[in-house]
Amino acid sequence: MDITVVAVGRIGEKSIASGIDWFQNRLKRYCRLRIIEVPDCGAPENLSPPQLEVIKDREGEGILKHIMPAHHVIVLDMRGKKMASSKMARYIRELDLDGVQGMVFVIGGSNGLSRRVMERADLLLSFSDMTFPHQLMRLILLEQIYRWFKPVTL
């Protein structure tokens, strides 16, 4: 299965980048993984809501150009559905059995995601009610993808 992670922003912290590399190497035997970084447009403090929407739309266009019509899109959002790792593993296996060739996981930046990106989602997935930095979320996502493909015995 092809899995693409489209994430806003770059990884600046070496320890996070090292963890991401570790999981990318482990995942090679289970799937074809690509990570695409979309530029973070940044936002100064005290933007008006319309100004913030312009920034989210700009980042959203960068995200959407990497999503094809046949892709199954999972957007990470704290308002999304919560699933246990085992349930998500079954969800991924069912998609694979259904012949889904490509999955795209979307991680927004600090500004959030545009309405168009949210509407394109086949699943809104929440890992927690807590907010995580988007760089750290990329590492957490890769750990979970690894867990979904490689059953962990406790």
What string of pLDDT tens digits covers the 154 residues of the chain? 899 999 999 998 999 999 999 999 999 999 999 999 999 987 777 888 899 999 999 999 999 999 999 999 999 999 999 999 999 999 999 999 999 989 999 999 988 999 999 999 999 999 999 989 889 999 999 999 999 988 654 4
In a domain, 51, yes or no: no
Q: What pLDDT is attached to residue 8?
A: 96
101-137 burial by CB neighbour count: b if 16+ within 10 A, else e?
Answer: ebbbbbbbbebbbbeebbebbebbbebeeeebebbeb
Domain that holds residue 116: 2-43+56-149
CATH of the domain at 31: 3.40.1280.10
How many independent structural domains does the chain possess? Answer: 1
In a domain, 135, yes or no: yes
**pTM listed for this prediction:** 0.93
In a domain, 20, yes or no: yes
Q: What pLDDT is attached to residue 151?
A: 63
Q: What pLDDT is attached to residue 153?
A: 46
